[in-house]
């Protein structure tokens, strides 16, 4: 999880270690893309332009990250996640396999987006959304 990566990176920094940033050679990284320390960008991922990837973010295989996207520290994108333009993903948020987020949508810190969900509106911090369109998960 993002929280686990945060703890590990903090412990490493305290011990004088420098976090590695790994970008697979088949990833496409466009102009004005900033990838912070301790990140992983997987194979066949595309980051277009004006993208900011925070510390310790994990962007798995085959993701597409469109223009003007901000990924908060220690966020996790599972394989095949697609983010349209001007999306923001909060710290330690997790988007599962095949999730799609439409333009100008914000995913709050610690939020979870279920596999295959299509997010059409903002997701509050800590919320879990699933489905098409993505709706809050009911806990009966």
Pair type for strands 82-83 and 128-130: unpaired
- For residue 107, give the nearest of 56, 63, 71 by alpha carbon: 71
The SS3 assignment for 136 reads strand
Q: What is the pLDDT of residues 39-89, one digit of tens each?
A: 999 999 999 999 999 999 999 999 999 999 999 999 999 999 999 999 999
Question: Is 67 annotated in the active site?
Answer: yes
Instruction: Give me the catalytic one of 24, 50, 67, 82.
Output: 67
- Say if CB 61 and CB 45 are below 8 A apart: yes
Tell me the pLDDT tens digit for each residue of 10-27.
888 888 888 889 999 999
**What is this structure's pTM?**
0.93
What's the CA angle centered on 41, arms 35 and 47, to 5 degrees? Answer: 65
């Amino acid at each position: 999880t993002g929280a686990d990566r945060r703890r590990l990176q903090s412990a490493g920094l305290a011990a004088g270690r420098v976090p590695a940033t790994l970008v697979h050679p088949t990833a496409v990284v466009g102009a004005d893309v900033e990838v912070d320390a301790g990140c992983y960008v997987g194979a066949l991922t595309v980051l277009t332009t004006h993208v900011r990837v925070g510390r310790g973010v994990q962007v798995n295989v085959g993701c597409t990250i469109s223009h003007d996207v901000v990924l908060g520290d220690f966020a996790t994108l599972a394989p095949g996640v697609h983010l349209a333009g001007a999306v923001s993903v909060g710290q330690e948020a997790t988007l599962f396999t095949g999730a799609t987020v439409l333009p100008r949508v914000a995913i709050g810190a610690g939020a979870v987006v279920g596999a295959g969900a299509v997010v059409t509106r903002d997701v509050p911090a800590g919320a879990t959304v699933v489905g098409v369109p993505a709706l809050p998960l009911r806990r009966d």
